[in-house]
Amino acid sequence: MKTKLHGFTLIELLIALSIVGIISAIAYPNYSDHIKRSKRAEAQAALVSFANAMETWKMQNGNSYLGAAAGGANTGTPTVFSAVVPVSGGTKTYDLTISAATVSTYTLTAAPVDPSEPSMWVKQDGTKSW
């Protein structure tokens, strides 16, 4: 009496492995690019919210942007908004700082933790670089 073996042949396994490899080679770069774009978008949104916080600071402090940084300084780590992105917590991807501030102007910067990512900034008049 012959018994029939059940299973896959080596050729079938190699074909399946090849298909998985091809799909992975296409999907992983797209996934990585999507993650980078979402981190940039999150930093852009944080900069806009930071700019809104600076406008609130100006209204509450005698029509001036001065003193919004730590220790009442004009530049550096902000006290009016979170200093890191993501704002809600998690792994830090960008550092937020006040690059320049005067009575009537400011420049807010998002510096990436990953040096291959671009820096971004926004000014009081709404001009942006990203």
* Domain residue limits, the chain: 40-129
- The whole-angstrom separation of Cα 57 and Cα 1 is 89
Residue 110, pLDDT score? 96
Residue 1, pLDDT score? 65
pLDDT at 37 over 90: yes
Angle subtended at Cα 76 by Cα 110 and Cα 45, rounded to the nearest 5 degrees: 25
